[in-house]
Amino acid sequence: MSPSPTPYKNQHYDILKKECQESKKLFEDSEFPCNNTSLFYKTPLPGRVEWKRPGEISESPQLFVEGISSHDLNQGEVGNCWFVAACSCLAGKPDLWQKVIPNWKEQEWDPKHPDRYAGIFRFNFWIFGTWTEVVVDDRLPTINGKLIYCHSKSKNEFWSPLLEKAYAKLSGCYESLSGGNTGDAVVDFSGAVNESISLEKGNYRTDPKVKDKLFSDLLKVYEQGGIISSSITASPAERELRLANGLVKGHAYSVTAVKRVRLGHGLLAFFKNETIPLIRMRNPWGKHEWNGPWSDSSEEWQKIGNMERNTLGITVEDDGEFWMSFDDWCQNFTDADVCRLINTSLLSVQKNWNEAVHFGDWMKHSDPLKNRCGGCMNHKETFLQNPQYVLDISQEEEEVLVSLQQRDMKIHRPRGAGENLTIGFAIFKVELNRKYRMHDIITQQNVATSTYINARTVFMREVLRKGRYVIIPSTFKPDTLGEFMLRVYTDKDAGCKELDQDKPHVSCWSSFRGYPQLVTHIYVQRAEGLENQDRSGGADPYVIISCENKSVQSVVQKDTRDPIFDTRAIFYRKKPRKPITVQVWNSNAIKDEFMGEVVLPASLKDSTDPQRLKLKQGASQTSEEMPGTISLRVVTSRQLTAM
């Protein structure tokens, strides 16, 4: 069972409701009072505001009228179409909205027992990794008796304005909801992982293969209960500008369906099996629709059989919901937010992911080794001062999902702040035995870098090969302070943890046992000439790097005589005069075959340049049996442990 939500501002719903029932008074929320501070911080409303309870607005108020639907919602005066679009998506997901609106039957008005009504409601939001319970009273802002903000088509339905009030409370006031991201609200409703996609920059408009893959991905997200939204970028002057095709710029739309629709009529349609990818959208205004191909009354619908049309539920009315081809969607919308509900349950028949969650801070410290706000890789001198997280990929190849999220900043808007930090992260392939923080970027392989953007969440999907990796989240500029949450999803448990130690610990026994004097990095890139070692024509080579009774073994390279090992090792050396050995072996089912070794002398100079070193022959082999040259491409780099 999931833990109980944490009460926001320590307000406990059950306690407050019981107190109101016993005193026979309706709840008044002192933490979100009915005054201007809860409405705005800059722009006053155009009219005299009166706070009214639902019973003063409607004779028979209800939380839900005939259930909950995406058609319930209409945007009000504040520019929070992004939030209304998220609510519209939420309404179509019973498993989600019943968690956001808990025990809704208990919260519903009961005309048979009016004495039980206490004027208090509760909603749950997933805030920075923790489910949080927010309570509000039922007093809603009105002008001329009408709700100012989000409202339902049914005058006596109140779930949407009450939910919006709870979210405004979290954000400081209603005006703080003006301008936002639909994906962020969906994450707050669900704990999903949000991926922002630029439809302009990703070749989705020009490359059919890329576009088809995107549709397949979105179809999978939709079928697995995920939530998708999209918008059209607009300048400040163009915001909410209605285009000739009916779409509105700078406006968030919810995606309410993703389908491959069968073309044709009758049995011929089934035998022909021709389909077209369509996507259904909803304008949170509840009006103004796309008027191009596949719009409500367009002639394209004549290509669809009656049974298929009935299944899709086509309605010809200006209700804000419409269909369009996926090609037109890619051409007309510029941005999409794809929120995946990542399955981590072992009991599910769907693919389950292993999740690692870490909370951290970008914080400043006078000691560079304790500083944790070094900025991005543009700042080479300070970048490695950022937090570092290590993980191991155990399969030959594995898709890894990484989500970096910062705290929501909207609550700071009333004091002139509230802008997101520009954040991102880099992934490095490191030594197989690394267990201390990185202090040298030259010897590491940067395999992926996210975009750096002032968004609340930065997401990346990356296929990583077997090995050890370090993820470094950072702000774009050094000395920028903030909190973050890093979520990493892998197929197998990757043992993801923070690297918090800079070097081996000094103990009272160090003087007796010895303490490392040098750090040596070894990078074995490849072996050449192995065809002279194996007369049968094939080999499964691997390398073992050994130093002071410690060793690191590479992955076995299957059926090759020109192996690329790409293997890194790091050693904290107590006896720097002792050599390091790199052995090459051929993997066999019965007994592995020794093929030779490189001995790196203690006197080898520090270097980051590749060195081709001849392998010593195996003890059982003679020079006549091993003609030609066998070489190993090795990179070495050393630095003092004192750093």
Q: How far is CA 16 from CA 26, 100, 120, 167, in A?
A: 10, 19, 8, 19
Q: How far is CA 617 from CA 146, 367, 539, 542, in A?
A: 89, 50, 16, 16
Selection from 278, 260, 282 nearest residue 330 by Cα: 278
HEC profile of 192-246: CEEEEEECCCCCCCCCHHHHHHHHHHHHHHHHCCCEEEEECCCCHHHCCCECCCC
Selection from 453, 463, 377 nearest residue 422 by Cα: 453
- For residue 242, what are the β-bridge partners? 248
Instruction: Annotate 516-569 with DSSP letters as a single string.
Output: --EEEEEEEEEEE-GGGT-TTS---EEEEEEETTEEEE-PPPPS-SS-EEEEEE
Measured over the CA atoms of residue 386, residue 391, residue 396 and residue 398, the dihedral's sign is: negative
Q: How far apart, in whole angstroms, are the C-alpha atoms of residue 70 and residue 286?
A: 9
Question: What are the residue numbers of the active site?
Answer: 81, 251, 283
Q: How far apart, in whole angstroms, are the C-alpha atoms of residue 306 and residue 556?
A: 58
Sequence-distant (≥ 6) Cβ neighbours of residue 331 within 8 angstroms: 205
CA dihedral 560, 395, 389, 128 (to 10 degrees): 150
Q: How far apart, in whole angstroms, are the C-alpha atoms of residue 397 and residue 304?
A: 42
Residues in the chain: 643
Sequence-distant (≥ 6) Cβ neighbours of residue 294 within 8 angstroms: 278, 300, 301, 323, 324, 325, 328
Q: Are 218 and 228 a contacting pair, CB within 8 Å?
A: yes
Sequence-distant (≥ 6) Cβ neighbours of residue 243 within 8 angstroms: 232, 249
- Neighbour order of strands in the sheet with 140-143: 50-52, 140-143, 146-147
Q: How far apart, in whole angstroms, are the C-alpha atoms of residue 252 and residue 235?
A: 14
Q: Are 526 and 582 a contacting pair, CB within 8 Å?
A: no
Helix axes 81-91, 182-190, angle to 10 degrees: 40
